[in-house]
Each structure stands twice: as structure tokens, then as C-alpha cells.
């Protein structure tokens, strides 16, 4: 399951804003309240952290895969990675949940 939370705010701290000739790199927003550790009801420790640039493509790929199988967004709503980065990542708070002890992204 993939979950991405997008919350624009006026007190954003820009982590990076790079737009080059290769691929668009969205402005990622840092949050002073993250990371946060949480224990799931089954005892699994989860860490919620800010999205990093290396998370953007795997999230896009997961959303596209879900859309192609009829889940989530429509297949035509996310035409490419550049569109996703500009419209769903750039300037928003995007959270990632990962298994605390091994760092595998779960949400």
C-alpha cells in the first residue's frame, strides 16, 4: 500500500530546489516535526519521514502500477514522472513511512 500526504503550508523550509536540463527535481519540503516513530498495533516499528528525491520515482511507479490495474488514480491522470513531480511533489509536504529497523519504505 502506498500513502503520500501532501500538505502545503506557509512556513515551509525548502530542502532543495533544482531544475536542470536532465530531469526536473521538485522542491522537497522539510518538516521540523519529522521524523516521527510509531509502533503499529501488531508491534511493528514505523518511522514517518520527509520524502527524499530518491523516493519520487518509486512512488510514481507504484501509483502508475495501481492506476494501470484500476486502483487509485486513472491511468491518464499521471502521464509521466515530470508531471507527477511538478504537480504532486513540488512544494508539498510528502511523507514516507518506512520500517524503522531496516528502512524499507512501506507507505
Q: Pick from 21, 16, 12: which is nearest to 56 by CA? A: 16
The residue ranges of every structural domain in the chain are 13-99
Helix, strand and coil in the chain, % to nearest 5 = 25, 30, 45
> Residue 68 has what pLDDT?
86
> Residue 107 has what pLDDT?
67
Q: Based on the number of CB atoms within 10 Å of its own CB, is 39 exposed (0-12), middle (13-18) or buried (19 or more)?
A: exposed
Pairwise CA distance, residues 84 & 86, whole Å = 6
> Residue 2 has what pLDDT?
45
β 45-50/36-39 pair status: antiparallel
> Residue 22 has what pLDDT?
55
Tens digit of pLDDT at every position of the chain (107 positions): 444 554 444 333 333 333 344 567 888 888 888 999 999 999 999 999 999 999 999 989 988 888 888 887 777 888 899 999 999 899 888 889 999 989 888 76
Is the overall model pTM greater than 0.75, yes or no? no
> Residue 36 has what pLDDT?
95
> Residue 10 has what pLDDT?
36
Amino acid at each position: 500500500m502506498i500513502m503520500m500526504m501532501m500538505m502545503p503550508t506557509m512556513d515551509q523550509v525548502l530542502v532543495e530546489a533544482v531544475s536542470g536540463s536532465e530531469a526536473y527535481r521538485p522542491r522537497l519540503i522539510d518538516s521540523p516535526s519529522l521524523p516521527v516513530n510509531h509502533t503499529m498495533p501488531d508491534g511493528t516499528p514505523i518511522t514517518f519521514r520527509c520524502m527524499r528525491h530518491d523516493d519520487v520515482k518509486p512512488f510514481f511507479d507504484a501509483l502508475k502500477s495501481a492506476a494501470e490495474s484500476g486502483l487509485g488514480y486513472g491511468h491518464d491522470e499521471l502521464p509521466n514522472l515530470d508531471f507527477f513531480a511538478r504537480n504532486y511533489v513540488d512544494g508539498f509536504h510528502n511523507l514516507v513511512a518506512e520500517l524503522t529497523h531496516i528502512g524499507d519504505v512501506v507507505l
